[in-house]
Amino acid sequence: MIRINEHYKKLQSSYLFSSIAKQVSAFQEANPDTPIIKLGIGDVTRALPPAILEAFHAGVDEMGRDESFRGYGPEQGYAFLREAIAEGDFAARGARVDPEEIFVSDGSKCDTGNIQEIFAEDIRVAVPDPVYPVYVDTNVMAGRTGGFTDGRYRGLTYLDATERNGFVPRPAQLEADSESPDLIYLCFPNNPTGATATKEQLNEWVNYARKNKSIIIFDAAYFSFIRDESIPQSIYEIPGAREVAIEMRSFSKTAGFTGTRCAFTVIPSELVAWDKSGGEQRVHALWNRRHSTKFNGVSYPVQRAAAAVYTQAGRNQIRELTDYYLQNASIIRKVMTDLGYSVTGGEHSPYIWIKTGSDSWSFFDRLLNEAGVVITPGMGFGSNGEGFIRISAFNHSEKVEEAMDRIRKALS
């Protein structure tokens, strides 16, 4: 008799954004005349910038001629893209990442979800609360947690990200724990709070990981929204991080690739984990083994399109794109602040985290029913999200303005 992976039974019935999508469809069916504005899931709405589109088209044309056609690409991604990334994202910021340390993939959701499988089943895992649910759910699926009680999975270490610490968890929070976590997920600029971490704060985490032989999974999907030069964009700007950190980045939010799909993971050559006999194992080799076994690469035209992000025209155009969404974020921040709510994020991030003080799913229902606007209830990101909502700045500016007018009316 075929049996299921029992750990799936511990999961909440559906993935956060799928639950929201179902509720929104049900509402739309019942209220076909209410035009809904979506500021829920962080999905980009503006077209691919012209320099990127042109490279994409050129890549497609190459695939249409025998002499330039490509079949399977190199396992880790084409060198032209990995070299552009190493130079444009890291060397330009004084951080060392070699092209050979980059694995091109079809998304950071997949990479942040899959990476855990190269580590032992019984490692201790720490996640922020609130958190991007993928880090949690994939560890639940892998059997690293107990059941779900009072909004948390037993056996996971939760790093509180609250008003008290400016939504930036610190290693000092772990001092009272008898065992240190082995795998630590961090995301900055943060999803969902929009908080950013300073060099000193990241330095504390790097030092903690070095001392405790842990690995940090650093999700930098939103780095391109950082506007303050003093805020680190990569964990590799922190000395010693290459020994303890894996970084993930995506072209989704940076360059409008949510529907195009391209991202990458960096695994420095010196990063090691240990086998049960205490032998050092290179994490790069493990991930390479996994990647080449389970993944066959991002399509050539998409990699060409991604490489165009690093041309001068591409850089200017993606800057304009992220500026546009940040302008939306400032509109959202202003309206919610004027309405008397305490607001964080939205300055170096497309997400605005708003303290409503009330049941977050009821607030979601209220905004859907009374304003026809979809937001994300904070509780969907963890128990510390109760009393908060997240509003995404990803939409056309006219839509954002209209949504905020409707919210103003509904809440005034």
Measured from the CB of residue 256, what is the shortest distance to ligand MLT in angstroms?
13
Per-residue binding string, ligand MLT, 110-149, x by CB under 6 A, is: ----------------------x-----------------
Which of 82/109 has CB closer to ligand MLT? 109
Measured from the CB of residue 259, what is the shortest distance to ligand MLT in angstroms?
12
Q: Which of 24, 41, 53, 410 binds ligand MLT (CB under 6 A)?
A: 41
Asked if 328 interacts with ligand MLT (CB under 6 A), we say no
Pairwise CA distance, residues 17 & 172, whole Å? 32
Which of 109/144 has CB closer to ligand MLT? 109
Pairwise CA distance, residues 200 & 206, whole Å? 10
Pairwise CA distance, residues 391 & 412, whole Å? 18
The token duo for 30 is: 């019942």
Which of 193/234 has CB closer to ligand MLT? 193
Measured from the CB of residue 42, what is the shortest distance to ligand MLT in angstroms?
3
Give the residue among 48, 81, 72 at the shortest CA–CA distance from 304.
81
Single out the segment in contact with ligand MLT by CB under 6 A; choices: 36-44, 55-63, 144-152, 322-330.
36-44
Which of 206/263 has CB closer to ligand MLT? 263
Measured from the CB of residue 140, what is the shortest distance to ligand MLT in angstroms?
17
CB burial readout 34-65, b (16+ within 10 A) else e:
eebbbbbbbebbeebbebbbbbbeebeeeeee
Measured from the CB of residue 225, what is the shortest distance to ligand MLT in angstroms?
13
CA angle 163/167/171 to nearest 5° reads 115
Asked if 254 interacts with ligand MLT (CB under 6 A), we say no
Measured from the CB of residue 309, what is the shortest distance to ligand MLT in angstroms?
18
Which of 152/390 has CB closer to ligand MLT? 390
Pairwise CA distance, residues 208 & 214, whole Å? 8
Asked if 109 interacts with ligand MLT (CB under 6 A), we say yes
Residue at shortest CB range from ligand MLT? 42
Measured from the CB of residue 411, what is the shortest distance to ligand MLT in angstroms?
22
Measured from the CB of residue 351, what is the shortest distance to ligand MLT in angstroms?
8
Cβ count near 116 (within 10 Å): 20
Near ligand MLT in 261-320, by CB under 6 A:
none
What is the longest distance spanned by two Cα atoms in the chain? 64
**Cα separations (Å) of 363 from 303, 349, 378?**
41, 22, 10
Which of 16/86 has CB closer to ligand MLT? 16
The SS3 of residue 141 is: helix
Which of 132/205 has CB closer to ligand MLT? 132
Pairwise CA distance, residues 115 & 217, whole Å? 9
Q: Which of 37, 42, 156, 257 binds ligand MLT (CB under 6 A)?
A: 42
CA angle 20/353/350 to nearest 5° reads 85
Cα Rg of the chain (Å, integer): 21
First to last CA, the chain: 59
CB-based contacts of 222, cutoff 8 Å, min separation 6: 187, 188, 189, 190, 191, 253, 349, 350, 351
Pairwise CA distance, residues 146 & 156, whole Å? 8
Measured from the CB of residue 350, what is the shortest distance to ligand MLT in angstroms?
9
Single out the segment in contact with ligand MLT by CB under 6 A; choices: 22-30, 40-48, 293-301, 308-316.
40-48
Asked if 249 interacts with ligand MLT (CB under 6 A), we say no
Cis peptide upstream of residue 189 (ω within 30 degrees of 0): yes
Single out the segment in contact with ligand MLT by CB under 6 A; choices: 37-45, 69-77, 274-282, 398-406.
37-45
Asked if 191 interacts with ligand MLT (CB under 6 A), we say yes
Measured from the CB of residue 333, what is the shortest distance to ligand MLT in angstroms?
18
Q: What does the binding site for ligand MLT look like in residue numbers (CB under 6 A)?
A: 41-43, 109, 132, 191
